[in-house]
Chains A and B, each alone.
Chain A
Amino acid sequence: MDGKLDGVETPQPMSSLQSWGLRSSAVGAIAIGPAVTDTKHRGGSYSLKALYAKAALIVLLVVLTSVLGGCVATPSTPSWSSLLVVKGILYTGSQAGRVYALNAASGTEIWRYPPSEKGGVGALYAAPVLLGDTLYIGSSDNHLYALDANTGSQRWVFTSSGHIFADAVIADGVLYFGSGDHKVYALDASTGLKKWEFATADGIWSQPCVVGDRVYVASLDHRLYCLDADSGRKQWEFKAGGAFAGSPAVAGDLVYCGAFDNKVYALDAKDGHVHWEFKTGHWVWASPLVVDDTVYVGSLDKKLYALDAVAGTKRWDFQAQGMIRATPALANGLLYVGTEVGSLHVLDAVNGQQKWVFNTNGAVLSSPVVAEGIVYVTVLGDTIYALDAETGVQRWSVAPSKRK
């Protein structure tokens, strides 16, 4: 046997793992190789052992890859979808990169883009926007799509160099949107031709706000920019202590915006000077909703705050079940607030008292929409709920992306 033993089973030196030739390596992986210099041979038993060893190694590699994959995996659902309801039609995107038009009364599908025989575009976070009979929606595949709102056929596509996560906004026939390529674009809404672009120092994940001849853009570079709507020239900028991922809102002479330094800012719309600031317990990602003299803003600290729009003082707050990422909706004196644990809280806008709560089957990370006495909510996983806006009774729910 040339120095090899046969017929003797021996206790394995070191660990059983090492008997299979496993040793820890620097990266935390397992180094594989023979740990011992002897090998037992006995006719066919070696072949069997070798087979077992190889099988064990393959299993180990699969497990290891799975562990690593699990560690680095992003959440399985790559986007949250947003809603638009206009004239009885509900438009929404899906995480699989498809745009749907549904009958708002029943949830039945009218059209989808791309059609079923084609794959979807990139995951869709943004809410569609409508101008005339054209629907616009940005995608994480870097494209902004203009579709026929009646049929879902494509009219034109504009390509940026980064993911488009945020809603676009239209004013005076110009489409404004931000991109992950750090730029805000102004396009001719009818042709898709670029009018101007403005570069910031980081991605733009929020919807621009257009008021008069000014465009307000919040960027992840910690700055809020005021641009000239015609030329894109910068008028002023304001730097916060954290990133801006939520959209600014303008009311009167003030610009309101939340930041990742946990604060809500009210800035002078003319020059960007701080009028007041209000500190919450976590990032403020949601866009403030300004109604009359009250600012409603949610925070990832799980609270919805009602602030005096002029003084920035707190009127009341409401402790929700989970983090509030999206802007609440307001209709008939009721606030509709979604949370990342799937609850939809309905509050009295005056005092913050909860009227009712509805629990969905997924995180509510985009803004609810109220139309024709129905509140529409979409959750992570693309299920859409239609509830009676007054009572919370469910009218229907659909998951259009799960239909064929």
Chain B
Amino acid sequence: MTQFWNTVIFQPMLNLLLLLYSWLAHNFGLSIIVFTVLVRVITLPITWQQMRSAKASQDLQPKLLELQKKYKNDREKLAQEQMKLYKEAGVNPYGCLVPMLIQFPIWIGMYQSIINVLPNNPLQLLNLARHIYHQFSGLVPLNASFLGLNLGRSAPILAILVAATMWVQQKMMAAPTADPQQQAMSQSMELMMPLMFGWITWNLASGLGLYFVVSNIVGIIQQYFISGWGSLATVFSRQGLTLKSPSSRTREPQPESSKGDKKRSGRPKDKGDGRKK
């Protein structure tokens, strides 16, 4: 299994990173950025499908609530009606799970590649020797300098950036809830995850932090085109600021000023979620 993983996922990704390094003037930071964007672009169809599926499912919630009210004493009928609703709306209730499972090995491979390609001691270098393609032998050790950072060592600034960009992305992804307990749990998790990844980055080579930051930024852009600013708009509106965006696509409760903006900007046509009004 390990051999299969190394041959199919890890080694190709590691050596792709080295190939980019050789093409991009031996600039490892640039290589990580291009590498991350490249992988995100390759997995874009999967990510896109996943995001749209999540959005479409969220949009069905009012109708699901109605069904739950209507058939609260008939579970079987409720289940039938819900599946019917999903079918009519063109939503696969498990649409998010499969893409996530497909992407997970790619993420792990990326982590491994970035960490292994910058060995800090002879044992790590020996480990790299097991996975490097011979045509890239001469590239080792890589020049880890990038914008004044040593990508082989931890950099607090990148840890902060990781936490900040992840928080923004989490906020954009968060769906609103009226339940205070669930909202509290959601908020604590939206804070906990960025802090956890910030802490991980703080303790690891900053090359991985650079990957996290770039990946988050790409994710933010993707999310923006799917659901706009999401709950982030609410955060800003509390501060008296308004984020202009296709935010009307979210079902976020908006203050009056934001609603005005929504009306002015108009609701973009959402073809992909299959909603039937």
A positions within 8 Å CB-CB of B: 3-18, 21, 23-39, 46, 50, 53-54, 57, 61, 65, 67-68, 71-72, 74-75, 77-80, 123, 125, 140, 163, 165, 202-203, 205, 220, 222, 241-243, 245, 260-262, 281-283, 285, 300, 323, 325, 340, 365
B interface size (C-beta, 8 A): 92
Interface residue ranges of B153-170 to A (CB < 8 Å) = 162, 166, 169-170
Task: Let me know if B266 is at the binding interface, CB within 8 A.
Answer: no
Residues of chain B within 8 A (CB-CB) of A165 are 121-122
Q: Is the CB of A77 within 8 A of B103?
A: no
Contact (A243, B177) CB under 8 Å given A14-B53, A28-B104, A283-B129: no
Shortest Cβ distance from residue B122 to the other chain A in the assembled complex, whole angstroms: 6
Q: Is the CB of B122 within 8 A of A37?
A: no
Q: Is the CB of B177 within 8 A of A80?
A: no
Residues of chain B within 8 A (CB-CB) of A261 are 137-138
**Additional 10 contacts, C-beta under 8 A, given A4-B179, A32-B192, A37-B58:** A5-B72, A13-B86, A14-B53, A25-B219, A26-B223, A31-B169, A34-B174, A34-B183, A37-B251, A38-B61
Q: Is the CB of A71 within 8 A of B83?
A: no
Q: Is the CB of A27 within 8 A of B173?
A: no
Q: Is the CB of A260 within 8 A of B219?
A: no
Task: Let me know if B14 is at the binding interface, CB within 8 A.
Answer: no
Residues of chain A within 8 A (CB-CB) of B99 are 24
Q: Is the CB of B177 within 8 A of A39?
A: yes
Contact (A23, B75) CB under 8 Å given A18-B54, A35-B58, A300-B129: no
Residues of chain A within 8 A (CB-CB) of B57 are 13-14, 18, 35
Q: Is the CB of A37 within 8 A of B177?
A: yes
Q: Is the CB of B123 within 8 A of A77?
A: yes
Q: Is the CB of B126 within 8 A of A28?
A: no
Q: Is the CB of A79 within 8 A of B100?
A: no
Which chain B residue has the least Cβ–Cβ distance from A50? B181
Q: Is the CB of B82 within 8 A of A13?
A: yes
Stretch at the interface among B17-25, B88-96, B237-245, B255-263: B88-96
Residues of chain B within 8 A (CB-CB) of A163 are 120-121
Q: Is the CB of A34 within 8 A of B83?
A: no
Complex CA–CA separation, A31 to B168 (angstroms): 11
Shortest Cβ distance from residue A323 to the other chain B in the assembled complex, whole angstroms: 7
Residues of chain B within 8 A (CB-CB) of A68 are 111, 200
| Cβ contact of B219, chosen from A27, A80, A281, cutoff 8 A | A27
Q: Is the CB of A26 within 8 A of B124?
A: no
Task: Let me know if B32 is at the binding interface, CB within 8 A.
Answer: no
Which chain A residue has the least Cβ–Cβ distance from B171? A33
Contact (A35, B121) CB under 8 Å given A25-B169, A53-B185, A282-B129: no
Q: Is the CB of B96 within 8 A of A205?
A: no
Task: Let me know if B16 is at the binding interface, CB within 8 A.
Answer: no
Residues of chain B within 8 A (CB-CB) of A15 are 93-97
Q: Is the CB of A17 within 8 A of B82?
A: no
Query: Can you give 19 contacting A-B residue pairs, CB < 8 Å?
Result: A10-B64, A10-B68, A14-B57, A14-B93, A15-B93, A17-B96, A17-B100, A18-B57, A18-B96, A26-B222, A29-B193, A39-B181, A50-B185, A71-B111, A79-B123, A165-B122, A203-B141, A242-B137, A260-B137
Q: Is the CB of B174 within 8 A of A75?
A: no
Contact (A37, B169) CB under 8 Å given A5-B69, A46-B181, A241-B138: no
Contact with A along B123-152 (1 / 0, CB 8 A): 111110110001001101100000000000
Q: Is the CB of B185 within 8 A of A202?
A: no
Complex CA–CA separation, A46 to B186 (angstroms): 15
Complex CA–CA separation, A209 to B212 (angstroms): 43
Task: Let me know if B1 is at the binding interface, CB within 8 A.
Answer: no
Complex CA–CA separation, A38 to B251 (angstroms): 14
Q: Is the CB of A34 within 8 A of B175?
A: yes
Complex CA–CA separation, A8 to B50 (angstroms): 28
Complex CA–CA separation, A47 to B196 (angstroms): 26
Residues of chain A within 8 A (CB-CB) of B205 are 72
Shortest Cβ distance from residue A55 to the other chain B in the assembled complex, whole angstroms: 12
Complex CA–CA separation, A36 to B185 (angstroms): 13
Q: Is the CB of B54 within 8 A of A14?
A: yes
Q: Is the CB of A13 within 8 A of B219?
A: no
Residues of chain A within 8 A (CB-CB) of B62 are 37
Q: Is the CB of B190 within 8 A of A33?
A: yes
| Cβ contact of B93, chosen from A13, A26, A67, A203, cutoff 8 A | A13
Contact (A26, B169) CB under 8 Å given A5-B68, A54-B185, A260-B137: yes
